[in-house]
């Protein structure tokens, strides 16, 4: 009998909810907000530096040869997802969502894939972990450039076209620290591997700090007057629908193209996910402070849904694999 795990709200999601609650009751304002904003930028730079330091280049090189798989996931992430997001936003009646939240739905679809959860779920599903490491990492590195360009294509950034200064800001905050971490991996990689718990705290702490700033600004500008409960419920429904489309689509597509079961797990988990880690700092750079919190709302909701569904699906893959292994060999 296969037991399906009951999805629970994890500690990080509870911390996100608490952070939004704190920003609602006690939003940071004035000069204090400027200081916290500077601290958040430094924390995000540290986050991407540590990502670079932890990334094992050997595994990436081993997975690079699987170009058909990576090309498919790249196309899903940066072509299919943006088109689906555009179609949803264009066909959705404007009365159902506030404009900034509708922009957030499109922004969600322009983000790169996750790294940690994609790899973790692929491993749990007994999939091709080396390929998952490579594909999710390539997605995140590409997203530093692709996401702003796609935002410029599909959206208006702070009322105007995407500027070179915006790209330079994103590169300085995300790409350069990542490259620095890779260059210094020889000396600090082993230390990073030994201190995973502390680095996990740094990861999550930096995201919570940026979320607090974004939602503080949004609360000051009337966030909860602009997002009634019905609109929040609509965000949940839209996020669920988008995730369902890509989970079903990636499964059928990988089988139609003849990928192995191990590679199918990579395509499903890397091709259906969106990165909160990348989305939070990018929203802070690409959108005006007054709207960044509203834009992030669909991203935060999608984050929890993909974790809950991913955990159940990965366990199902694992159980199916164990059942096949237990079957007697046929001559």
pLDDT in tens, 188-238: 877 877 776 766 677 677 777 877 877 787 777 776 677 888 888 999 999
CA dihedral sign, ordered 35, 205, 279, 53: positive
- Greatest mean pLDDT among 167-176, 238-247, 277-286, 302-311 lies in 238-247
- Report the pLDDT value the prediction gives residue 166, as an integer from 0 to 100: 59
Distance CA 69, CA 78 (A): 14
pLDDT at 42 over 50: yes
Distance CA 142, CA 124 (A): 26
CA distances from 288 to 201, 212, 220, 265, 284 (A): 28, 15, 13, 38, 7
- Report the pLDDT value the prediction gives residue 266, as an integer from 0 to 100: 93
pLDDT at 106 over 90: yes
- Report the pLDDT value the prediction gives residue 79, as an integer from 0 to 100: 96
Q: Collect all residues with Cβ–Cβ distance below 8 Å to 253 and sequence separation of at least 6.
A: 72, 267
Give the dihedral of Cα atoms 67, 72, 77, 79; nearest 10 deg.
Answer: 120
pLDDT at 74 over 80: yes
For residue 164, name the pLDDT band (cuts at 50, 70, 90).
low
CA distances from 127 to 4, 76, 106, 270 (A): 19, 19, 30, 11
Task: Please compute the mean of the pLDDT values over residues 18-44 and round it to a whole number.
Answer: 81
* Greatest Cα-to-Cα distance within the chain, rounded to the nearest angstrom: 75
pLDDT at 263 over 70: yes
- Report the pLDDT value the prediction gives residue 157, as an integer from 0 to 100: 58
For residue 8, name the pLDDT band (cuts at 50, 70, 90).
very low
pLDDT at 160 over 70: no
pLDDT at 329 over 60: no
Average pLDDT over all residues of the chain: 81
For residue 132, name the pLDDT band (cuts at 50, 70, 90).
confident
């Amino acid at each position: 009998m296969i037991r399906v795990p009951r999805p629970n709200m994890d500690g990080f999601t509870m911390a996100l909810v608490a952070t939004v609650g704190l920003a609602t009751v006690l939003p940071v304002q004035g000069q204090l907000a400027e200081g916290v904003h500077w601290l958040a930028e430094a924390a995000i730079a540290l986050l991407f530096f540590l990502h670079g330091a932890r990334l094992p280049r050997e595994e990436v090189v081993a997975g690079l040869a699987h170009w058909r798989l990576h090309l498919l996931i790249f196309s899903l992430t940066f072509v299919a997802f943006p088109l689906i997001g555009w179609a949803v936003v264009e066909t959705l009646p404007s009365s159902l969502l506030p404009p900034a939240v509708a922009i957030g739905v499109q922004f969600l679809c322009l983000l790169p894939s996750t790294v940690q959860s994609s790899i973790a779920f692929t491993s749990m599903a007994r999939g091709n972990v080396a390929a998952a490491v490579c594909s999710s990492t390539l997605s995140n590195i590409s997203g530093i450039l692709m996401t702003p360009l796609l935002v410029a294509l599909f959206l208006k950034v702070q009322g105007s076209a995407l500027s070179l200064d915006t790209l330079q800001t994103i590169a300085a905050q995300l790409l350069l620290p990542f490259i620095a971490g890779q260059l210094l991996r020889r000396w600090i990689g082993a230390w990073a591997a030994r201190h995973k718990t502390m680095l996990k705290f740094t990861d999550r702490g930096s995201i919570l700090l940026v979320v607090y700033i974004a939602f503080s600004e949004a609360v000051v500008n009337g966030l909860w007057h602009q997002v009634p409960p019905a609109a929040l419920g609509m965000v949940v429904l839209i996020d669920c629908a988008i995730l369902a489309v890509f989970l079903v689509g990636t499964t059928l597509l990988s089988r139609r193209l003849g990928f192995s079961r191990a590679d199918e797990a990579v395509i499903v988990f890397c091709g259906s996910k969106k990165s909160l880690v990348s989305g939070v700092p990018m929203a802070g750079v690409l959108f005006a402070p007054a709207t960044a919190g509203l834009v992030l709302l669909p991203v935060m909701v999608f984050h929890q849904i993909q974790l809950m569904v991913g955990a159940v699906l990965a366990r199902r893959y694992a159980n199916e694999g164990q059942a096949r292994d237990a079957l007697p060999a046929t001559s």
